[in-house]
Structure 1
Amino acid sequence: MELREEFLRYATRDAQRRLSKRLGFHWYENTQDWDLTESDSERIKEFLQIYKSDDLSDDEKFALMELIISSFDDLVEEGGNINREGIWTDCKHILNNEPWLHITTIHYWSSLEHKDPKKGFSVTEFIRSIWDSVKIEFT
């Protein structure tokens, strides 16, 4: 199922740069796949706390959520508890309440080219339920 073009969004370099500074990451101008290279399953709770602060732009929220989901993917891959300290519940709440901002991320990690979610990313089976609840608005 394809996402309508008007809903596609991509992380900006400026947002990634500002977040890198805030999170203590070294920034390289030629960085690619920032969310994948900087993901850290041990820092998900911290990332969510920063997300919930009132001082992020929509571009920063979008880039940070990409990092959060990538970190969840690492956590599942590592065999960790996806809902330790309620972190997955917090993330689901954000995604369900702000799908307009994160639909590109939800769509990507849902790995819809695979009927069986277990053939997608490690986090796909968890993201699919969010996609199923919001897809009608965006396809």
Structure 2
Amino acid sequence: MSAEESLKKVCKALKIEFDPGDMQDWGIVNSDPTRVAEFIKYYKSVDLDEETKFHVFELVVASYNDAILGRLAKGQAKADFLELVKESHSVPGLKIVRDYWKEIYNKENFPVGKLL
């Protein structure tokens, strides 16, 4: 299955509109701070190929960043996110996502970098 086909499948499952022009930054473009728990559940419950896992993990991180900014990152969502980050260290392909957010970290716009 191609990367585009995989993302279309994810979009359908998560009810996100697919735009082929968004493939590079798909996770960032489609972030939603109110859906962090749903995205984490999807990431953990669906068998994803490596490239799709990368995109969905980026979706989770971008959404959690927005949740921090919107003061929605609390309780179980925070615990689940931190657990997912810890687990992500055993997936080599996800280091790129963590490194990206760490590199752009700042308190005002990209606070999630500090948690990665």
Paired position in structure 1 for 2:21: 30
C-alpha separation between the residues in 1 aligned to 2:103 and 2:8? 27
* Structure 1: unaligned runs, 5 residues or longer: 1-11, 128-139
Q: What is the aligned counterpart of 1:43 among 23, 35, 43?
A: 35
Greater CA deviation, 80-89 or 58-67? Answer: 80-89
**Tell me, what secondary structure is at the counterpart of 1:123?**
helix
Aligned counterparts of 1:21 and 1:51: Cα–Cα separation in 2: 14
Q: CA deviation at 1:68?
A: 0.4
Contact 1:111 1:120 (8 Å CA) reproduced: no
- 1:18 corresponds to: 9
Sort the Cα spacing of 1:36 and 1:106 in 2 relative to 1 into closer, same or farther, 3 A.
Answer: same
Percentage of pairs with the same residue? 22
Instruction: Tell me which protein shows more helix as a share of its residues.
Output: 2
Q: Which digits, 9 at most, give the CA deviation of each residue in 1:35-61, with x for residues without a partner?
A: 122111111111111111252211221
Could you tell me the TM-score, scaled by structure 2's length? 0.79
Larger relative CO (CA 8 A, sep 6+): 1 or 2? Answer: 1
TM-score of the two chains, using structure 1 as the length reference: 0.68
Residues 22 and 54 (structure 1 numbering): CA distance in 2 closer, same or farther, change over 3 Å? closer
Query: 1:125 is aligned with what amino acid?
Result: K
